[in-house]
A and B are shown apart, each in its own frame.
Chain A
Amino acid sequence: MSGAASFLALAGRRIAASLLLLVGASFLIYFTIRSAPGDAVDAITPMGTPPEIKEKLAAEFGLDQGVLGGYGVWLSRSATGDFGESLVFAPGQTVMEVAGPAFEKTLLLSGGALFATVVLSILLALFLGEPSARQQGLTGALYFITSAPGFVSAVVFSAAVNAGVQRFVEQAGHETPAWYPIPIYSDSIVPYFFAGFVLVMGDGLLMDTFNAVRAEILGVRGAQFIAAVRARGASVTPHLWLNLAIPIFSAFVSRLPVVLGGVVIVEYVFTLDGAGYLLLEASKQRDFPVVVGLSVLFTLAVIVVGLLSDVARSVIDQREVARDG
């Protein structure tokens, strides 16, 4: 089989496996819904929901049928992006109308924070080089600071910024910024940068990425082919980065699910109208279709990221195709 055909076959197999995973994961989500105690419709609707809305919800989620039959009904609707209508958060709007834009913001925030983490990890790895006893104090301190849960980092960071802004405004007599005090709902983009900073510095993400990136850089630097390039008097830099592209890309995508988990509470602390904030608000208000729709979207994101990682690795590294094909 030619290289292109092998690659297409591999990509096809990975896509089919990802679709199977999505069907399986969606069944687990649906099964969780059906495990609600007592009457499932009562369990998933807010108090005082009119009977006609309950009936509509039962039909949409297939709650009036057996588990497998109901799953079939729900899956056939969900597969077309129809997760029903929001009950409380934005009544009358479809879940996708509410969740879609919020999810875009969350992906942008998570992707941006992760990109910054990877860049920072590369810079830190280049600056520190080989691990040494002298560095252990610094890396230990960084490890300690960055292992704080995102919401704790966010709370401490917000309190520090609020205190700093208050002092600055009092002393310099400037107007208070639109985003002050944190958390406050505003159109400003500044809280997104704050949230991004907290995501980079919280949940152990930075040091985990740094350790992975440094190990890869040191591994490639110490490889025999790099010594050969050096012996020929050629520039090592292009070879180094070309060979680091796969592991660094892999470090990026494999950590996206971690960031997507952390972003949920961080968005809530900073009152950013992303998918995390929406998920928690919808959960508190028992807006069940929105919660389920977002759960599926988050799961889909994790699966798509895994698929992209696999396929991209195969594009860059033909050995993957040969191994698989």
Chain B
Amino acid sequence: MTVKWSDLGLRLSGAVVVAVMVVGLVALVIPYDPADAVSYDTLLNPPSAAHWLGTDGQGRDVLMRLVKGTEAFFLPGLMGGLIAVVLGGLAGAYTGYAAGPLRSALVGLLQLVDTLPRLVFIILLCTIRNPSIPLIAVVAGLLFVPTVATVVRRKVEALASEDYILAHIAHGFTPARILLHHILWLQCWPLLVRQAAFVFGYVLFVETGLSYLGDYGVQEPDPSWGNMVAQVKDLAGAGAWPWLAPAVAIVVTIASFLAFGNLVARKGEEALR
């Protein structure tokens, strides 16, 4: 039996997505004191049976920090994705279906937000407020609302003149029911899944990026995959495992979320045709 590449990709990326979700939930409940974890007897130990991914420059177990590091982006990523999908979906549905000055004003506002360079705006915000990662995730979600709204609007515009939608109107269904249930829920879910996965990946990118830079994200000694990668600056080639493991984890997680979102959406769109 041959397995199609897309199916293999879906299974592999799906496995990573599930694993990240499980680890993210586990990380929320397992106790970890970063100060207690420091051990001068185990500085920079290579991977072994006792420490599967080795230890870092302060003798801390890399695997444990990798698991606890998911806390920094797991809930914020879900929150950012949810905000972008809910607000973007509603805005896209409204601007694709309605007409009039309110619609024009909303389209203008979405265009305005879309103009802001996302990372630059987040850095500006960090300069002013020194915000927490959850607040940054909320802002990232809001900055993606126009992107989601645009793809949903195009879909709604394409569907609005379909026979079955006209039949729903003729049956006396309310515009809200047609928009929210028949178009957004039943027809746009593949688009929304793709966008939610993308925004989750973006929040992970922003969190790890800011934590890597050191001043705004998660600060040492608390773990983040970003500040773990930043150890490369201090180790000067002494050992690669403390920063290579989180670097690989970032790439695998982002690639898997993007691939999973795309492949699920593609399957969903095929099923809807």
A143-B259 CB under 8 A given contacts A35-B128, A261-B119, A299-B116: yes
Using a CB-CB cutoff of 8 Å, which residues 261-294 of chain A contact chain B?
261, 264-265, 268, 279-280, 283-284, 286, 288, 291-292, 294
Note all chain A residues with C-beta closer than 8 A to B112. Answer: 21, 24-25, 28
The segment from B50-58, B64-72, B79-87, B206-214 that touches chain A is B206-214
Closest B residue to A17 using CB positions: B111
Task: Report the count of interface residues on B (CB-CB < 8 A).
Answer: 41
Decide yes or no whether B258 CB sits under 8 A from chain A: yes
A-B contact count (CB 8 A): 129
Cβ of A144 under 8 Å from chain B: yes
> Which of B117, B205, B232, B247 is most buried by chain A, counting CB atoms within 10 A of its CB?
B117
Interface contact B125-A32, CB-CB below 8 Å: yes
Cβ contact within 8 Å between B118 and A140: no
A152 cross-chain contacts in B, Cβ below 8 A: 208, 229, 247, 250-251
Question: Which residue of B108, B118, B126, B229 is within 8 Å of A261 (Cβ)?
Answer: B118
- Complex alpha-carbon distance, A158 and B215, angstroms: 22
Q: B258's contact among A147, A151, A288, A302, by CB below 8 Å, is which? A: A147
CB contacts (< 8 Å) of B124 on chain A: these are: 29, 32, 283, 291-292, 295
Which of B116, B118, B125, B251 sits near A144, CB closer than 8 Å? B251
Max chain A C-beta neighbours (<10 A), residue from B126, B127, B212: B127
Complex Cα spacing A288 to B126, Å: 11
Given A137-B5, A268-B213, A149 contacting B208 (CB threshold 8 A): yes
Determine the chain A residues whose CB is within 8 A of the CB of B164 once the complex forms. none
Per the bound structure, the CA–CA distance linking A137 and B125 in Å amounts to: 41
A265 touches B213 (CB 8 A): yes
Contact status B254-A162, CB under 8 Å: no
Residues of A contacting B6 in the complex (Cβ-Cβ under 8 angstroms)? 136
Residue numbers in B under 8 Å from A159 (CB-CB):
232, 237, 240
Bound-complex Cα distance A306 to B6 (A)? 34
Residue in A136, A155, A292 whose CB lies within 8 Å of B232: A155
Min distance, Cβ B238 to any Cβ of chain A, angstroms: 12
A163 at the interface (CB under 8 A from B): yes
Identify which of A36-44, A78-86, A214-222, A237-245 touches chain B: A36-44
Task: Classify the secondary structure of B's interface with A.
Answer: helix
Q: Is A156 an interface residue (CB 8 A)?
A: yes
Q: Mark A111-150, 1 if CB is under 8 A from B, else 0.
A: 0000000000000000000000100110010011001110
Contact of B127 among A162, A286, A302 (CB under 8 A): A286
A179 at interface by CB-CB < 8 Å: no
**A65 contacts the other chain (CB 8 A):** no
Please determine whether B128 and A36 come into contact, CB atoms closer than 8 angstroms.
Answer: yes
Interface residue? B73 (CB, 8 A):
no
Do A299 and B119 have beta carbons less than 8 Å apart? no
Residues of B within 8 A of A162 (CB): 237
Asked whether, in the complex, the Cβ of B120 is within 8 Å of the Cβ of A28, the reply is: no
Q: Which residues of chain A from 19 to 52 have a CB within 8 Å of any chain B CB?
A: 21-22, 24-25, 28-29, 32-33, 35-37, 43-44
Question: Closest CB-CB distance, B57 to chain A, in whole Å?
Answer: 15
Q: Say whether B129 faces chain A, with CB atoms less than 8 Å apart.
A: yes
Checking A136, A151, A303 against B115 with a beta-carbon cut-off of 8 angstroms, the contacting residue is A303
The chain B residues found within 8 Å of chain A, CB to CB, are 4-6, 9, 108, 111-113, 115-121, 123-129, 205, 208-209, 212-213, 215, 229, 232, 237, 240, 243-244, 247, 250-251, 254-255, 258-259
* 15 A-B pairs in the complex with CB atoms less than 8 angstroms apart: A28-B112, A28-B113, A29-B124, A32-B121, A35-B129, A36-B128, A37-B129, A136-B5, A143-B255, A147-B251, A148-B254, A148-B255, A283-B127, A291-B127, A299-B120
Given contacts A43-B128, A299-B117, 4 further A-B pairs with CB under 8 A are A32-B121, A147-B255, A149-B205, A162-B237
Q: Give the 7 A-B CB pairs with smallest separation, nearest first.
A: A136-B5, A147-B255, A24-B112, A148-B251, A283-B127, A261-B119, A298-B120
